Amino acid sequence: MKSTILLLLLILGLIYVSKSTSIVNPTSINVIDDVKFEPAKPIHSHYKTMYILDTDDFGLINSTLINIYNAYRDPRLINRLEIILVAFGKGYNVYLNSNPEFQPMLTSLQDSGCVFVLCNNTINAYHLNLNNLFPGVNPVPSGNGEIILRLGDGWSSIHP
C-alpha cells in the first residue's frame, strides 16, 4: 500500500514538473512586468577567474569541472578567458591518478588552457606524491594565499 501511494505521488510530481517547466532560449530577451532582461555582454578583452575546490564530494567535483568546461564554451568568452582550478584540503582528490573518472575532463580542460593548482600545505598534510597526481599540477605555497593574492589582482572566484 505504501509503495503504491509513493508511486502515485512520484507520478503526480513528475506530471506537475513537466507541465511547469519549459525550454528557454538563453539569448532571447525576456519581458516580465515590463522589465527587459538581456544576457551580459563582454566588455573586456580578457577575463580571469579561479574555481575553488576544497571537498572530495564526487558530485561537487564533477559539477565544478563541467562548469569550467561550459565557461570555456560560452560564445561570449571564447579567446577571452583565463581559468585556474585551485584545490586545497580534500579538494586534492580531483587530481589523484587513482580517481580516473576525472582524468578525461581534466585533459580536456588542460587542452583548453585551464591551469591546475594545488596547495603545498595540503601536499604535506596528506603526504601526497606529485608523481601520483595528474600531470601539470602546479604546487603553490598555500591555496588560501593564492586565492587572496589573485582576488587582489582582480581575478573573480567561483566556489561551488
Q: What is the pLDDT of residues 67-107, one digit of tens each?
A: 999 999 999 999 999 999 999 999 999 999 999 999 999 99
Quick one: pLDDT band at residue 15, thresholds 50, 70, 90? very low
Least confident segment among 17-26, 75-84, 93-102, 111-120:
17-26
Quick one: pLDDT band at residue 151, thresholds 50, 70, 90? very high
pLDDT of 5: 38
69-83 as b/e, with b when 16 or more CB fall inside 10 Å? eebbeeeebeeebeb
pLDDT of 84: 98
Asked if residue 18 has pLDDT above 50, the reply is no
156, 101 contact by CB (below 8 A): no
pLDDT of 8: 36
pLDDT of 160: 86
Quick one: pLDDT band at residue 7, thresholds 50, 70, 90? very low
Q: What is the pTM of this model?
A: 0.78
Residue found under cell 564554451: 73
Percentage of the chain beyond pLDDT 90 is: 77
| Dihedral pair phi/psi, residue 79, rounded to 5° | 65, 20
